[in-house]
């Protein structure tokens, strides 16, 4: 209310002041115009009377002059006429003049003798009078003065009318402005502020988390946006604090984003971390006339973003989206996340030839099938290898540019796209601590020996201080491959490789997922309602629902999975029409012929099995070969009776852990390939050989018929594993190991200092 009153008083004062100034100026202009008109009229009348009076006065007919002046004054509506002699004494004065001065008008004192006439505005009594005088001449010179007195009351009256009109105008205007101001301030300022204040009060005491009805597009839009961001940050901090308190109370050691942030700050001690990956954490894409920001689903982004935010780090990645170039600065940088800007994303641009050769060619037609041993023949072309080297050198140049001026930096390289990069960085920055994480399996030495450039790849990897893989078996395979291919010394107990004076540690760091907090259904429905809704959306019928979520990749064993379902329905026909399996399969890398053909094969196999068993509107396999985001997949995880993960070979496979993490009801069964890295941790899953169709069919039957108590016991154990070994712990362990490593420059300095003789 005080704000409204102050605004009203301020606006009313401003309007009144402006109106007074404008009116005064208008009155002044009006008076000047009327004075000019009055002067012209007075001149005309006085000159006409002068032509009558002057000849008669020369002839001495004073009485006739007075009579003529009386008649002329009445006829011309003058206030009066006076005639003065040369000394200023009145010779004749009309009867209408009462307050006429007995001496000549003062105007003649300032009027030169040569002037034709002079006038001024004066007051006689209480009336404004315009006095105009013309000299009367004789043969000897000026004999007198003819003066007319013109009533100027109209000028003052008009000015008063203007002032009165202005006052009558400004009063309702001020009232109207006051009402409008009060209404606008109340609706666009006071109410939003009051609503925001109430919301902030609720937020402070924990009763609200989101701002309802924000003032979008209005005066307070910037404040609303910042308030919403503040609310989200505060809510996250509150949840993190509550979770930390609960964990301390329970003596638990769960890693959270906040714990990771604080832990990394302590470990890095102010030093910066640089992450290098092929995939960027944010895509800028053009949508209509604007640019949207997309966050690709990635466990690596989830794990490493808190680390980069904690140390104001830099993420270096291939800028592949169509609007990526439009948002970077002159050094190809952009601050992210978009709403908080906590770290830097440095984009690297690749040509079409570079991307085809390095990514689709050598990395995904060569290294990917080589490492997965999924019986798809690797393809190695010299041109692809050249592009792979060129891109690794390009990323090395960009990374070294970012490292300029940074003392003892930490560099974390992601995946098989950059096997050469550790050596390229370490050779030029020996003070940098470099780790590379290999997200795919490492095969046995015989399999890896197929690669024509295995020595170059291994030498590049050994430039790192730490090489991380998912499981111990992959670490052992890597060491065996190095032992057979390069001249080096391997410390098997410490799992370290010594080559050219540099030591590289090989460590297992199984990646995981962010264990979700328990969420209530906002619609208020129970598990049964959600289950029915999911099945209705899928078009599934029957009592039992299985789910599979994969990229369409030959390593995922999708066709083997379908054949296991086929065999299950052959052996147990009672489950026909009682069982449906939903396969979410997003096509990927379709520029590669093998992947393009695989999509056709998967569709054909699903159609074949459905045609064989379909009864009426029921069919056993529901194939959705398109991209689904996490919000669409989560209900499937939460309501399916079992999940099939049948990888033919996989470094980890996070689908298995995602399924477990979303089973808040501690129900459901995971059927997991023994060739997926996740099988080393999730021992309570039903472990299968996906090539064994009979075993896979029996595992499906076991999953459906497993007693509820056993299902919950197994799921409870797996959830504990995933919860305690989540993706934030993975990031903490990896960066902590890197922080514990001594850089080559520090080792060289220590050796030099130790060997120097005292002065």
Is the pLDDT score of 166 beyond 50?
yes
pLDDT at 522: 47
SS (H, E, C) 289-323: CEEEEECCCCHHHHHHHHHHHHHCCEEEEECCCCC
**More confident position, 38 or 376:** 376
Measure Cα distances from 437 to 272, 450, 469 in Å. 18, 22, 6
pLDDT tens digit sequence for 638-694: 999 999 999 999 999 999 999 999 999 999 999 999 999 999 999 999 999 999 999
pLDDT band at 69 (very low <50, low <70, confident <90, very high): confident
Sign of the CA dihedral 388, 390, 396, 399?
negative
Task: List pLDDT tens digits, range 221-253.
Answer: 666 666 666 666 666 666 656 555 555 544 456
The pLDDT, as a whole number, for residue 17 is 78
Is the pLDDT at 109 greater than 70? The verdict is no
447-481 pLDDT tens trace: 999 999 999 999 999 999 999 999 999 999 999 99
**Fold classification of 2-157 (topology level):** Beta-Lactamase (3.30.450)
| Superfamily, domain 531-725 | Glycogen Phosphorylase B; (3.40.50.2000)
Residue 1: the pLDDT is 56
Residue 317, pLDDT above cutoff 80: yes
Question: What is the mean pLDDT of the segment spanning 686-709?
Answer: 97
Delimit the domains of the chain by residue range: 2-157, 271-349+391-508, 531-725
DSSP 250-298: HT-----HHHHHHHHHHHHTT--EEEEESS-S-EEEEETTEEEEE----
pLDDT score of 754 more than 50: no
560-581 tens-digit pLDDT: 999 999 999 999 999 999 999 9
Pick from 108-117, 165-174, 727-736: least confident:
108-117
pLDDT at 249: 44
Q: Strand order in 90-93's β-sheet?
A: 90-93, 80-85, 141-151, 127-138, 118-124
Does 636 score more than 90 pLDDT? yes
Band (pLDDT 50/70/90 cuts) for residue 759 is very low
Residue 735 pLDDT:
92
What is d(CA 651, CA 85) in angstroms, rounded to the nearest whole number?
Answer: 127
What CATH class is the domain 271-349+391-508? alpha beta
Q: Do domains 2-157 and 271-349+391-508 have the same CATH topology?
A: no
Q: Do residues 186 and 219 touch, judged by C-beta distance below 8 A?
A: no
Confidence of residue 758 (pLDDT cuts 50, 70, 90): very low
Residues 6+ positions from 578 with CB-CB distance below 8 Å: 542, 543, 544
pLDDT band at 219 (very low <50, low <70, confident <90, very high): low
**pLDDT: which is higher, 354 or 295:** 354
């Amino acid at each position: 209310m005080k704000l409204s009153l102050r605004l009203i008083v301020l606006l009313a004062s401003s309007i009144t002041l402006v109106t007074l100034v404008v009116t005064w100026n208008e009155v002044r202009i009006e008076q000047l115009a009327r004075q000019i008109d009055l002067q012209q009229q007075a001149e005309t009348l006085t000159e006409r009377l002068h032509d009558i009076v002057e000849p008669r006065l020369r002839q001495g007919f004073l009485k006739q002059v007075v009579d003529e002046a009386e008649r002329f004054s009445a006829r011309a509506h003058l206030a009066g006429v006076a005639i003065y002699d040369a000394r200023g004494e009145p010779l004749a004065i009309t009867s209408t003049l009462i307050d006429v001065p007995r001496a000549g008008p003062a105007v003649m004192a300032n009027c030169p003798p040569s002037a034709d006439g002079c006038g001024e505005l004066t007051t006689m009594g209480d009336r404004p009078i315009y006095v105009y005088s013309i000299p009367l001449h004789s043969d000897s010179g000026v004999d007198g003065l003819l003066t007319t007195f013109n009533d100027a009351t109209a000028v003052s009256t008009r000015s008063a009318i203007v002032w009165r009109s202005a006052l009558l105008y400004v009063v309702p205007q001020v009232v109207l402005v006051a009402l409008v101001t009060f209404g606008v301030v109340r609706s666009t300022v006071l109410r939003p502020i009051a609503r925001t204040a109430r919301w902030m009060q609720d937020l402070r005491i924990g009763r609200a988390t989101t701002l309802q009805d924000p003032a979008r597009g209005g005066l307070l839009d910037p404040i609303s946006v910042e308030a919403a961001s503040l609310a989200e940050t505060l809510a996250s901090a509150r949840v993190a604090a509550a979770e930390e308190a609960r964990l301390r109370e329970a003596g638990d050691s769960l890693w959270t984003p906040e714990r990771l942030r604080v832990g990394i700050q302590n470990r890095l001690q102010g030093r910066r971390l640089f992450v290098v990956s092929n995939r960027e954490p944010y895509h800028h894409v053009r949508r209509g006339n604007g640019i949207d920001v997309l966050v690709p689903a990635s466990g690596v982004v989830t794990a490493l973003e808190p680390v980069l935010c904690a140390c104001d780090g830099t993420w270096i990645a291939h800028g592949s989206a169509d609007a990526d170039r439009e948002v970077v600065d002159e050094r190809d940088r952009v601050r992210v996340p978009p709403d908080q800007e906590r770290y830097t994303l440095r984009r690297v641009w690749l040509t079409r030839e570079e991307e085809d050769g390095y990514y689709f060619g050598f990395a995904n037609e060569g290294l990917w099938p080589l490492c997965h041993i999924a019986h798809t023949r690797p393809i190695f072309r010299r041109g692809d290898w050249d592009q792979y080297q060129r891109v690794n050198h390009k990323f090395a140049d960009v990374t070294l540019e970012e490292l300029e001026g940074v003392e003892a930096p930490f560099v974390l390289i992601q995946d098989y796209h950059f096997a050469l990069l550790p050596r390229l960085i370490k050779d030029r920055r020996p003070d940098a601590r470099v780790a590379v994480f290999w997200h795919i399996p490492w095969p046995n030495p015989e399999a890896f020996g197929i690669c024509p450039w295995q020595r170059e790849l291994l030498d590049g990897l050994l430039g790192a201080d730490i090489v991380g893989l998912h499981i111990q078996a992959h670490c052992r395979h890597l060491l065996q491959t190095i032992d057979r291919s390069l001249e080096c010394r391997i410390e098997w107990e410490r799992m370290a490789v010594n080559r050219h004076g540099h030591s590289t540690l090989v460590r297992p760091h199984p990646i995981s997922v962010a264990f979700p907090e328990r969420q209530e259904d906002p619609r208020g429905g129970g598990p049964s309602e959600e289950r029915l809704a999911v099945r209705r959306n899928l078009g599934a019928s029957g009592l039992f629902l299985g789910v599979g979520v994969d990229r369409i990749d030959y390593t995922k064993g999708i066709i083997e999975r379908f054949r296991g379902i086929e065999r299950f329905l052959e052996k147990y026909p009672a489950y026909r029409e009682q069982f449906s399996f939903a396969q979410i399969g997003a096509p990927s890398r379709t520029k590669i012929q093998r992947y393009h053909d695989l999509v056709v094969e998967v569709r054909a196999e699903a159609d074949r099995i459905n045609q064989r068993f379909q009864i009426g509107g029921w069919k056993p396999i529901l194939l959705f070969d398109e991209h689904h985001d996490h919000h669409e997949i989560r209900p499937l995880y939460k309501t399916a009776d079992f999940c099939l993960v049948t990888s033919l070979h996989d470094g980890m496979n996070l689908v298995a852990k995602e399924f477990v993490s979303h089973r808040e009801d501690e129900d459901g069964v995971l059927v997991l390939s023994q060739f997926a890295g996740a099988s080393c941790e999730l021992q309570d899953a039903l472990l299968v050989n996906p090539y064994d169709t009979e075993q896979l069919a029996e595992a499906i039957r076991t999953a459906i018929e497993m007693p509820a108590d056993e299902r919950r016991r197994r799921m409870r154990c797996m959830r504990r594993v995933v919860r305690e070994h989540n993706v934030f712990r993975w990031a903490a362990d990896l960066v902590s190991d890197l922080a514990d490593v001594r850089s080559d420059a520090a080792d060289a300095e220590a050796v030099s200092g130790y060997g120097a003789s005292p002065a």
